[in-house]
Structure 1
Amino acid sequence: MKIWGRRNSANVKKVLWAAEELGLPYEQIDAGGAFGIVSTPDYLARNPNGLVPLLEDGDLTLWESNTIVRYLAARYGAGTLWIADPGARAEAEKWMDWSHQFAAPFREVIFGLLRTPPEKRNLAAIEGGRVAVARLFGIADAALATTPWLSGPAFGIADIVLGPFAYVWMELAIERPDHPHLADWYRRLQTRPTWPTAVAIGLS
């Protein structure tokens, strides 16, 4: 199994974390960002979008991070990450699809604070992103008041997808609303043995 993508990408982290949770052997290949590769003909033949992550599992090639997480859980996670009941699984998967709303506002925050020199920052765009992300995490906080995990009674695929976003949000030196249920959930994520390897690798 090969997983293409730079480790500081939230979307790549999802896939790496799922593989780690499932105990799958894999080769991680740096691609995207400063590593390039994604615009080469060889890579575009695998993923015409020129994005990461990309999974190669035998003869199967997959792109789209949430799809890859679902696939890994379905193929390798019976009794652990895969939720057999269709209704319960849909409850978890709705959070996976909902997480796409984080992409645009998080881009403003991450690129603005981590990847742009202070003198070139667009402070209005950063603040707009921060407010939008805070609102979204408020929705998750309300849900976590009634369930220990976004995936349901047990840690699972929805938590894997939202966890990398939560890591950046919680570790950035940024103003955050008081979301006690989200904070409790985040503390429990940090106790996963796979968390330091797949997610908590530093902000960049």
Structure 2
Amino acid sequence: MLEVFGRANSINVIKVLWLLDELGTPYARHDAGMAFGRVDDPDYRAMNPNGRVPTIRDGDVVLWESNSVLRYLAMTAGERGLALYPADPAARASADRWMDWQLSTLSPAERNLFWGLVRTPPEKRDMEAVRAAVAASAACWRILDARIAAGGPYIDGAMMTIADIVLGAYARRWFGPEVAMPEMPQFPALAAWYARLGERPGFQRWVNPKLY
């Protein structure tokens, strides 16, 4: 059986778990990371030399880096996987670019918003850095809002892809009550897309729980 190593409150593990629900793929999950430790154990480092989560083990295949894991899971899941990660080169490349955009652009922009408000006690918060992260994150979400407004209902049109899973997990950090601030602008198309994703069982199970 497929094994997933990682704590369920890691955004990168959440991406994987949500996709597995969408695919209906059976798996066993093992807690790892932060309070659960495990990631510095020699056998874990042999699988993932970075000592981070998630890592998956699928028979002889061991893989880390969450977006690469999503691609692998979709490509090995038959027709359901192809529905979420199309075989057409242009469609696949479009999903890939938004997943790469998450890594290169969105994640650095929003990092101090999530960490500053969720993972930092109130008395230790750097609110100047948080407000800067709100502005940087808003600039990113404005791009996606325009994309969806022009050709939704999903990022690449009529069909949901794994790019929606990746960015939907991150949108939780924008729309969640744990990070709500008056300075946050409204993005109607993005909000409608986020609500649409919120109807999916995998989202409700893995993305919707309280951020911590």
| Corresponding residue of 1:184 | 192
Q: Report the Cα distance in structure 1 between the residues aligned to 2:157 and 2:45, rounded to whole angstroms.
A: 37
| Corresponding residue of 1:81 | 84
TM-score relative to the length of structure 1: 0.95
Q: Report the Cα distance in structure 1 between the residues aligned to 2:34 and 2:180, rounded to whole angstroms.
A: 23
| Corresponding residue of 1:28 | 29
1:136-163 C-alpha deviation (Å, 9 max, x unpaired): 0111001001221114320111101101
1:21-41 C-alpha deviation (Å, 9 max, x unpaired): 000111111111111111111
For 2:149, which of 145, 159, 178 is the aligned residue? 145
For 2:96, which of 88, 93, 98 is the aligned residue? 93
Which structure carries more helix by proportion?
2
Structure 1, unaligned runs of 5 or more: none
Give the letter aligned to residue 81 of structure 1: L
Structure 2, unaligned runs of 5 or more: none
| Corresponding residue of 1:135 | 139
Give the letter aligned to residue 174 of structure 1: M
Partner SS state of residue 49, structure 1: coil
| Corresponding residue of 1:2 | 3
| Corresponding residue of 1:167 | 172
RMSD: 1.3
CA-CA distance at 1:70 after TM superposition: 0.6
Q: Report the Cα distance in structure 2 between the residues aligned to 1:28 and 1:169, rounded to whole angstroms.
A: 27
Q: Report the Cα distance in structure 2 between the residues aligned to 1:26 and 1:80, rounded to whole angstroms.
A: 20
| Corresponding residue of 2:118 | 114
TM-score relative to the length of structure 2: 0.92
Number of residue pairs matched? 204
Q: Could you say if the C-alpha distance between residues 77 and 144 of structure 1 is closer, same or farther in structure 2, counting changes exceeding 3 Å?
A: farther
Identity %: 48
Partner SS state of residue 146, structure 1: helix
Contact 1:22 1:77 in 2 (8 A): no
